[in-house]
Amino acid sequence: MFNKDIITAFEQKETPFFYYDLDLLQATLKSAQGAANAFDFHIHYAMKANFNERVLTVIQQTGIGADCVSGNEVLKAIEIGFAPKDIVFAGVGKADKEILNALDHNISAFNVESVQELSVIADLAKASGKIAKVALRINPNVDAQTHKYITTGLDENKFGIKTWELSACLDVIKENKSIELIGIHFHVGSQIVDMNVFKSLCVKVNEFNSWFDERGYRLKILNVGGGLGVNYNEPDKESIVDFRKYFEIFDHFLERKAGQEVHFELGRALVSQCSSLISKVLYVKNGIKKNFLILDAGMTELMRPALYQAYHKIESLKAIEKKDRSNTSDFTHYDVVGPICESTDCFGKEVELPLSKRGDLIAIRTVGAYGEVMASKYNLRDEIRYVYSDEL
């Protein structure tokens, strides 16, 4: 990802910053779109993964839709230029004003997460003289085999409608002309790398699809959510996910009835690899038990390691420049940490890196998803800085 010219350009910039490789983003989107088109599948981009304006603009231009999880995301999507017919709105706690705003803009679907929410949407739509299109987000009790903090489709998770509440949902739908059932929706977790999880999901979706069909509801849309994982260990080996392999699972195992569309909501798989957090070593602190590299980036820029023990590859750009790994005595192990006053402000423990000194550039890889968007001002940190590949 980084050559000598890029590294030289980085040296002129104030750190830390998020570097965006827009070419890689484009290539990833193209690959995803191409694979989806081959199966006549539709993609919505899960905006919460990254709502950087330039990233959103590039995504909007590819014709991918937007999957939002807050009223402000809906507004942002519209501002960026996504057509309301390509915007869906999920979220377990939609506030009245968020629902009203979305109704106002005639978005394509509310992904409804409870029978209570369904009633509220019905009432608000009625009062606004609108018909709200809804998809029921069903919690299928499928184990995503991922970190417990990012699993969403189990009975113990707060997300989605439980199977035993579906009849009550149908009652609300029958009673209210202000809502129209257009589909069912699922999202079982994130960073899923075991394709068997998606197979299990398909089996469940088929069951629910038939359940509705038997009750006289031919659903227009089967929305199977997102969650496709990326390679955090070797970002350069697999800089673009194998979208074809992923879509093939659904093509093979999902039983589409005549006229049904299949929708996906990908976040991480589209934007993770196009960004790295570039930081400088402030201090090298050598101890008896540990050596620390103290960076100028911290959990305020990248929270994932502190929040869910996420792994990110850490590279010294000095080593990339030299490409000399023959003399291993030049390498040692560091705990790579940030400057924030929290012990969890640590990007990696015992990371093998070249002997480092103050001022060395460090890249933390695969940060395009759930990186910049989770930044905080804790410790009154600076605003996030970015550098885009076409500005170097």
Ligand X SMILES: *Cc1c(COP(=O)(O)O)cnc(C)c1O
Closest residue to ligand X, Cβ-based? 267
Given the complex with ligand X, which of 138 and 306 has the nearer CB atom?
138
Smallest separation (angstroms) from ligand X to the CB of 69: 5
Smallest separation (angstroms) from ligand X to the CB of 58: 17
Given the complex with ligand X, which of 49 and 274 has the nearer CB atom?
49
At residue 177's C-alpha, the angle toward residues 174 and 181, to 5°, is 65
- Of the candidates 299, 309, 306, 308, the residue with the CA atom closest to the CA atom of residue 277: 299
Distance CA 367, CA 306 (A): 14
Given the complex with ligand X, which of 49 and 99 has the nearer CB atom?
49
Contact at 8 Å (CB) between 83 and 44?
A: no
Contact at 8 Å (CB) between 85 and 116?
A: no
Smallest separation (angstroms) from ligand X to the CB of 262: 14
Smallest separation (angstroms) from ligand X to the CB of 314: 22
Question: Which parts of this chain interact with ligand X (CB under 6 A)?
Answer: 46, 48-49, 67, 69, 90, 187, 190, 225-228, 265-269, 369
DSSP one-letter code for 286: E
DSSP one-letter code for 62: T
Given the complex with ligand X, which of 59 and 293 has the nearer CB atom?
59
Given the complex with ligand X, which of 118 and 317 has the nearer CB atom?
118
Buried b (16+ CB within 10 A) or exposed e, 311-331: ebbbbbbbbbeeeeeeeeeee
SS percent in the chain: helix, strand, coil, step 5: 40, 25, 40
Given the complex with ligand X, which of 228 and 278 has the nearer CB atom?
228
Smallest separation (angstroms) from ligand X to the CB of 249: 15
Smallest separation (angstroms) from ligand X to the CB of 70: 10
User: Which region, left, alpha or beta, applies to residue 129 given φ > 0 means left and ψ of -120 to 50 means alpha?
Assistant: left
